[in-house]
């Protein structure tokens, strides 16, 4: 039998790659330009030529392994061309290939029922033209699916890593393996049995029903898992808000008590004509008022209340908390609840990081400002530096070095920052750790 040729691979791989790119990016809610689709499809087709004509001659590629290699290559190509994070592009391609393989599996019984002498097989120089009608129909159906996903704004992949971490990767891989097995079993089912053309409607219908039900059930399970994790994050956010409110009430009670006590002290000093002592005492109170006026610059009562609460907690824990507000937050495109969740978690983590240090070294700095990119929040602490291994995992849900039941704070912060198309970065060295959040204005 003659070997598969460059022309045949290019003829099938090039349009197939373009359609798969369109389908995968549709799952991200993105409609790329035709030039980028053409570029990605061309590079992917050249990779397929290399895979089958070069690697395929050196080693025998098992069924399904070539698909995994194509997925990895396409994810890398999309990342380079579209400048997406590799995780996003890889996950989108995983689901895109899974859907495409499901469509291919369902096409075999349909083509055999329509064309009685149709021979389901892989592409080869002897029968490539026999598979052409099915190939064209498969591309058309895939294009229709991509159009419907984009038309009805079905952003199945939107925000996956903020809600599920690596869990969705496992589910996507499971669905891909399932799709490959379905395709392989379908091919064996029809190729091995020479009487497949005489199966009749009931057997065809049963096969189509089975191959349709399995991926649908898998997608339903994935959706339920995503909903469960989303609800867990929202519940944690509500608990954090309740904790902030409780802290604010306690701080207000303490401040009211202290204010009454200070008035009594000042009145007593004036009664005994200790004017210098009264002046020194008032100077301290004025400095505290000045610090309060710094917080008022936010022009956001909710944020100001939170910062007051954290300042009270820092004072109670003997932590030097310095807050600098350089801009008004009136135009900040975040709800007060979301702003406080971000600030509260970052400040809490910073105070925990310095809690074990000697009192003079317990320093936390908070800066709220604005630059050309948008609103900026920086939280710095003088605690021990974070190792690179831990730094790579700090935003993962459930990861914590402080024991079980922790690890949702920074994950919630990252979720909210990405919700508003922002960015969060962490840096750590011998001088401490810094978190920088940028939210487009």
Q: Evaluate if pTM is beyond 0.75.
A: no
Residues 6 or more apart whose CB falls under 8 angstroms from that of 73 comprise 44, 47
> Which residues share a beta bridge with 428?
433
Q: What is the pLDDT of residues 136-165, one digit of tens each?
A: 888 999 999 888 887 776 665 544 444 444
Q: Is the pLDDT of residue 406 over 80?
A: no
Q: Angle 384-388-392 (CA atoms, 0-180°, nearest 5)?
A: 115
| Closest among 336, 344, 341, 349 to 237, alpha carbons compared | 341
DSSP conformation class of 328: -
The secondary structure of 364-390 as a DSSP string is EEEEEEEETTEEEEEEEE-SPPPPHHH
Spatial distance between the Cα atoms of 195 and 418, rounded to a whole number of angstroms: 56
- pLDDT for 147 equals 86
Spatial distance between the Cα atoms of 84 and 29, rounded to a whole number of angstroms: 13
Half-sphere exposure of 155 (CA within 13 A, CB side): 9
| CB-based contact 183:105 (threshold 8 Å) | yes
Q: What is the pLDDT of residues 354-401, one digit of tens each?
A: 988 898 889 999 998 888 888 999 999 988 888 887 777 787 766 666
Of the ranges 39-53, 75-89, 107-121, 408-422, which is most confident? 39-53
- pLDDT for 161 equals 45
The secondary structure of 283-304 as a DSSP string is HHHHHHHHHHHHHHTT--HHHH
Q: What is the pLDDT of residues 268-292, one digit of tens each?
A: 877 788 878 777 776 666 555 445 5
Average pLDDT, the chain: 76
Q: What are the Cα distances from residue 79, in Å, to 84, 154, 410?
A: 5, 21, 26
Q: What are the Cα distances from residue 241, in Å, to 111, 247, 250?
A: 58, 10, 14
- Mean pLDDT score, 171-183: 74
Spatial distance between the Cα atoms of 207 and 189, rounded to a whole number of angstroms: 10
Residue pointed to by tokens 């995503």: 226
The token pair at 416 is 């909210």
CB neighbours (10 Å) of residue 405? Answer: 8
Q: What is the pLDDT of residues 16-68, one digit of tens each?
A: 999 999 988 888 777 778 888 999 999 999 998 898 888 877 887 776 688 88
Spatial distance between the Cα atoms of 278 and 266, rounded to a whole number of angstroms: 6
Percent of the chain with pLDDT over 70: 69
Numbers of helices and strands, H then E, in the chain: 14, 5
Q: Output 319 or 294, whichever has higher pLDDT.
A: 319
Spatial distance between the Cα atoms of 418 and 6, rounded to a whole number of angstroms: 44
Q: Angle 316-320-323 (CA atoms, 0-180°, nearest 5)?
A: 105
Give the largest Cα separation in the chain, rounded: 113
The token pair at 288 is 């505290």
**Sheet strands side by side (includes 432-439):** 320-325, 363-371, 374-381, 432-439, 423-429
Helix-strand-coil percent breakdown of the chain, rounded to 5? Answer: 65, 10, 25
| CB-based contact 98:172 (threshold 8 Å) | yes
Spatial distance between the Cα atoms of 76 and 67, rounded to a whole number of angstroms: 14
Residue pointed to by tokens 């329509």: 114
409-419 and 336-354 helices, crossing angle to 10° = 140
Reported confidence tier of residue 174, pLDDT bands at 50, 70, 90: confident
- For each of the domains in the chain, give its residue range(s) and CATH number, in order of start: 6-199 (no CATH), 294-439 (3.30.565.10)
């Amino acid at each position: 039998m003659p070997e598969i040729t460059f022309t045949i691979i290019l003829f099938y791989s090039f349009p197939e790659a373009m359609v798969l790119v369109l389908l995968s990016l549709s799952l991200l809610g993105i409609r790329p330009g035709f030039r980028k689709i053409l570029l990605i499809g061309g590079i992917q087709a050249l990779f397929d030529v290399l895979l089958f004509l070069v690697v395929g001659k050196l080693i025998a590629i098992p069924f399904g392994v070539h698909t995994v290699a194509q997925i990895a290559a396409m994810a890398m190509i999309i990342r380079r061309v579209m400048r997406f994070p590799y995780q996003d592009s890889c996950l989108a391609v995983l689901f895109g290939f899974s859907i495409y393989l499901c469509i291919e599996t369902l096409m075999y019984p349909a083509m055999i029922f329509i064309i009685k002498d149709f021979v389901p097989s892989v592409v080869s120089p002897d029968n490539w033209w026999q598979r052409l009608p099915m190939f064209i129909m498969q591309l058309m159906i895939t294009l229709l699916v991509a159009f419907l996903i984009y038309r009805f704004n079905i952003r199945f992949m939107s925000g996956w890593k903020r809600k599920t971490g690596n869990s969705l990767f496992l589910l996507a891989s499971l669905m891909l393996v399932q799709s490959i097995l379905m395709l392989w079993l379908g091919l064996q089912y029809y190729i091995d049995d020479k009487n497949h053309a005489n199966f009749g409607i009931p057997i065809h219908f049963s096969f189509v029903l089975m191959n349709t039900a399995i991926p649908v059930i898998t997608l339903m399970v994935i959706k339920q898992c995503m909903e469960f994790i989303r609800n867990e994050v929202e519940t944690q956010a509500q608990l954090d808000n309740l904790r902030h409110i409780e802290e604010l009430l306690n701080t207000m009670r303490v401040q009211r008590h202290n204010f009454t006590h200070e008035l009594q002290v000042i009145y007593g000093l004036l009664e005994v004509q200790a004017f210098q002592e009264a002046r020194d005492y008032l100077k301290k109170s004025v400095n505290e008022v000045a610090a309060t006026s710094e917080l008022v610059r936010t022009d956001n009562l909710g944020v100001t209340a939170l910062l007051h609460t954290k300042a009270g907690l820092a004072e109670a824990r003997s932590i030097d908390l310095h807050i600098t507000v350089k801009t008004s937050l009136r135009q900040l495109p975040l709800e007060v609840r979301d702003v406080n969740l971000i600030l509260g978690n970052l400040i809490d983590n910073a105070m925990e990081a310095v809690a074990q240090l000697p009192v003079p070294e317990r320093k936390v700095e908070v800066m709220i400002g604005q630059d050309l990119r948008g609103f900026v929040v920086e939280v710095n602490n003088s605690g021990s530096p974070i190792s690179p291994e831990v730094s790579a995992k700090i935003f993962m849900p459930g990861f914590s070095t402080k024991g079980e039941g922790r690890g949702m704070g920074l994950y919630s912060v990252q979720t909210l920052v990405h919700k508003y198309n922002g960015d969060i970065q962490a840096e750590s060295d011998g001088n401490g750790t810094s978190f920088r959040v940028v939210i487009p204005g």
